Structure 1
Amino acid sequence: MTITEIPLTPDNQLFDISINNIDYKMRIIWRESGWFLDLQNSDGADIIAGIPLVTGADLVAQYAYLQLGFGLWLFSDSSGNTAPGQYDLGYTAHLCIITEAA
């Protein structure tokens, strides 16, 4: 198993990322209720939209039928399963990709 942290800042952002040799785009945006992630293909078409960034669960587990081949977990430096605040991403909240070793 490989765990890789995605370096984030507490800003709305869109970036390219390669996971298991497949290119994706990730968009992370703050809405009044919290942080949300859109996973897109390399052309910018949504694969999954509006994933709330919460701790305590694999964020893409419910999309197993897509056979993504990875998990996305949000880890917090604080105790408990709290959602990150507006200024926490990259500081006390860490988005990580978990892949199985080949």
Structure 2
Amino acid sequence: MSIAEIPLSADNQLFTLQLAGQQLRLRLIYRDVAGWVLDILDPDERPIVSGIPLVPGVDLLAAYGSLGFSGGLWVVSDDETQEYPSKTNLGYGSHLYFVTTD
């Protein structure tokens, strides 16, 4: 198993990264009603998956197994009493990890 933290900040953001050899763009946007949501795009910014809420304790990619992701994305909070990442603690008190089973 390998675990890699995806570095985030508590700002809306769009960046490119490699996940298990696949180049992707991740867009994170804070929406007042829904909280933090994740869009996964191809390198040309065409949507692959849109609007995934950052929910701790579940594999965010589990429902998208047919898309060929070779791992899972997990949100973990430093504070067990905090259910979801807040507007200001993403990347500091709440973290996003890519986990593969090698």
Q: What TM-score, normalized to structure 1?
A: 0.94
How do 1:18-29 and structure 2 match up within 5 A? Answer: 18-29=18-29
| Offset, 1:84 | 0.9
Which structure 2 residue ranges, 5 or more long, are not aligned? none
Give me the whole-angstrom Cα distance separating, in 2, the residues matched to 1:52 and 1:80.
18
Give the length in aligned residue pairs. Answer: 101
Distance (whole Å) between structure 2 residues aligned to residue 58 and residue 70 of structure 1: 9
For 1:81 and 1:98, the matched residues in 2 are separated by 22
Give how far 1:21 is off: 1.2
CA distance in 1, matches of 2:75, 2:95: 5
Once the two structures are overlaid, the 10-residue window that deviates more, 31-40 or 78-87, is: 78-87
Unaligned runs of 5+ in 1: none
In the alignment, the residues of structure 2 paired with residue 68 and residue 81 of structure 1 have an alpha-carbon distance, to the nearest angstrom, of 28
Kindly state the Cα deviation for residue 92 of structure 1 after the two structures are TM-superposed.
0.6
- Could you state the TM-score of these two structures normalised by the residue count of structure 2? 0.94
Name 2:4's counterpart in structure 1. Answer: 4
Distance 1:22 1:76, change over 3 A: same
Aligned-residue CA RMSD (Å): 1.1
Q: Deviations over 1:45-96 (max 9, x none)?
A: 1000000001010001011111211100000011156011100101110000
% same residue:
43
Is 1:55–1:81's contact at 8 Å kept on the other side of the alignment? no
Aligned to 2:56: 55
CA distance in 1, matches of 2:42, 2:81: 33
